[in-house]
A and B are shown apart, each in its own frame.
Chain A
């Protein structure tokens, strides 16, 4: 059973550019959450997608947007990249119908470097 997969593993972009990160959830999961983990910090919640809609959002600007596809996979898009966007971006999947007692399974992350 494949766990959560993310692509690419590493990415280097220039300030002002746009980036798209991809995530495939664990088999049987229908909900995808995205987190940003800056160096030396804990992950911070960006947003969560369920049924192809953004259900919850953390304190991130509109430059951060996402999408969920019918097969439950998801994309995270960041526009107008800033140096401060350099971080490890983690995707987590879960089963919403589990209603609270389930947990989120994390992927290995995408390391984004903005120069």
Chain B
């Protein structure tokens, strides 16, 4: 069975500092991996996705993530945090059929706070 573990339910950074949100996955087959962001009282917005092409994936709003098979990780980073990045972030893995056909399995989320 596939699963996702997000380390740290709450991360706080200063504006301009590096953002690092951790995600480890478990999958018996090559996974499709996603990062979504959720702002208060809103749905989920896709930040980026890994679908077995380049291991370094660039997304929207300056975020990127690197797929590391040896570490079963897909950590999300942003070089310089902005106040508008404050939100909850979810890592997700799709089932063997892929991102559009299969269901997504989500981690519990990491709430990012950005201090001025």
Q: Quick one: CB contact mask for B91-113 with A, threshold 8 Å, 1 for yes?
A: 01010011111111111110000
B44 and A43 within 8 A (CB): yes
With both beta carbons as reference points, the residue of chain B lying nearest to A95 in the complex is identified as B100
> Which residues A63-113 have CB closer than 8 A to chain B?
90, 92, 94-96, 98-109
Number of interface residues of A (CB under 8 A): 30
A105 touching B46 in the complex, CB below 8 Å, given contacts A41-B108, A42-B90, A42-B109? yes
A108–B103 CA distance with the chains assembled, in angstroms: 18
Asked if B14 is at the interface of the complex by the 8 Å CB criterion, the answer is: no
Q: B102 near A31 (CB under 8 angstroms)?
A: no
Are the CB atoms of B44 and A100 closer together than 8 Å?
A: no
- Is B45 in contact with chain A by the CB < 8 A criterion? yes
Complex CA–CA separation, A102 to B100 (angstroms):
5
Contact between chains at B42 and A104 (CB < 8 Å): no
Query: CB within 8 Å of A: which of B18-62?
Result: 32, 34, 36, 41-46, 49, 51
Question: Which of A41, A56, A95, A107 sits near B102, CB closer than 8 Å?
Answer: A56
A45 touches B43 (CB 8 A): no
- Quick check: B106 and A43 within 8 Å, CB to CB? yes
* Cβ-closest 6 pairs across A and B: A100-B98, A42-B106, A102-B100, A45-B103, A94-B100, A106-B43
Q: B-contacting residues of A (Cβ < 8 Å)?
A: 4, 31, 33, 35, 40-45, 48, 56, 58, 90, 92, 94-96, 98-109
Give chain B's interface residues, CB within 8 Å of chain A.
4, 32, 34, 36, 41-46, 49, 51, 90, 92, 94, 97-109
